[in-house]
A and B are shown apart, each in its own frame.
Chain A
Amino acid sequence: MKSNTADMVFEGLLRIADDNLILGHRTSEWCGHAPTLEEDLALPNIALDLIGHAQTLYCLACEINSRYKNEDQLAFLRLEHEYKNLLLVEQENGDFGNTVLRLFYFSTFMKYFWERVKINCCFKKLKEFSEKAFLETSYHSRYASQWVVTLGDGTDESNLKMSNAISNLEPFLGELFNNDDFTEMCSQNDFLPEPTSIFDSWKNEVETILQKGNLNFPDIILKKRGGRKGEHSEAFGYLLSDLQYMQRAYPNSSW
């Protein structure tokens, strides 16, 4: 691989892996706290999937960039500004409704993202990975969509909580669909699809589900951004100190 291609692939893998790691960590915070036993099984299961995706992608990234010797270094030992995840995934969970709505937004986006990668990607290992990842994110999207409808179409209170969740998450959706120089380069090189190219399919599905739950589709304009450049929100610092605690306190510890 040429060195500028390697840089592109490394950065692209990092963006997707960081999104999955950080949302996986947030989702895992529900372990032992979910409203029912079934959801207490479901959410950690999903967290496990998300972290599994991150782990595999970090491994691929390590094969490309010899600066990092294994996936744990990427997951646990980088500094805050070196993480490239979206602001959306690092926000605090909020209530259960807010958690499942964010999961619905993200997994539906990733489902269409992997569907595109499956068709066209110059990096063979990622193309292969996308076949499996597509199936798993479809499952997450369906699980979360059922809760969005159930809560939206439930009581006045649950509908109100879901409406609040929509307003809460609205400022972070613009970043999800924001093209930048890097995404344009990835698309020109047949590596990754541009985020805007996923918007129509995503909107179609999200709008249908929100309608079923008597909820209004949010305005999607670019409001808050910075995650892709390593500029994060306050919530991220607290998250990282929790996520990195073991490796910082006991460097190089392993199971």
Chain B
Amino acid sequence: MEKGTEKAWDVLKDLTDPELPFLTLDDLGVIREIKRNDKNHVVTIAPTYIGCPAISVIEEKIASELKKIGISPIIEKSFSPPWSSDWISENGRKKMEEFGISPPHPRKTETIGDSLLKEVKCPQCTSYRTEKVSEFGSTACKSLYRCLDCKEPFDHFKCV
């Protein structure tokens, strides 16, 4: 954290994701950096997906929250390094599981959604006897699974 940006961090650390409202942007690793240049705060965010429709909402949220404490920020998107599910905090993974979403595995290779090669745990009954139903789920960042034991469908956060 850069000196002089503490106030901004204080405000932004509790902002939640519009599509996963039980997670903060900080849990997801979306807010990468807050810097200060001469006049402004520059907030760098890493979109989970290039076309993620939540991004513009996130940008508005950041700007309006900072405005409340008298800061008008410049918000920049960064794709390098690309956002990775490895950046989701331990706490974020725990909250995800509590909410019924199976969290992503640690990423090993440069692939996307490679969890189909690994066992995915059912967040309902903790069984590993699960199967993938679709590579795509209710949002760009999730795929759809089903538990073969408790029969419940669930979302799995893609491993990116």
Contacts and interface: CB of A to CB of B under 8 A. Distances in A.
A138 B82 contact: no
Interface string B38-63: 00000000010111110000000000
Given A41-B137, A131-B80, 7 more contacts: A41-B144, A42-B134, A48-B140, A53-B50, A56-B50, A132-B82, A135-B82
A133 B49 CA distance: 9
A53 B82 contact: no
Interface string B81-93: 1110000000000
Nearest to A133: B50
Greatest chain B CB density within 10 A among A41, A56, A133 is at: A41
A52 B80 contact: no
B136 A55 contact: no
Contacts of A55: 51
B79 A38 contact: no
A143 interface: yes
A136 B135 CA distance: 12
Contacts of A127: 80
Interface stretch (B6-14, B18-26, B95-103, B109-117): B109-117
A100 interface: no
Interface of A: 38-39, 41-42, 45-46, 48-53, 55-56, 127-129, 131-133, 135-136, 138-139, 142-143
Contacts of A143: 135-136
Nearest to B79: A132
B112 A128 contact: no
B81 A131 contact: yes
A114 to B, nearest CB: 11
A188 B16 CA distance: 46
Contacts of B37: none
Nearest to B134: A38
B80 A41 contact: no
Contacts of A45: 136, 140
A55 B55 CA distance: 12
Contacts of B49: 49, 52, 136
B78 interface: yes
A139 B138 contact: no
A144 B135 CA distance: 11
Contacts of A56: 50, 77
B79 A52 contact: no
22 contacts: A38-B133, A41-B134, A41-B137, A41-B138, A46-B136, A48-B53, A48-B140, A50-B51, A52-B50, A53-B50, A55-B51, A56-B50, A56-B77, A127-B80, A128-B79, A131-B81, A132-B79, A133-B79, A135-B160, A139-B113, A142-B113, A142-B135
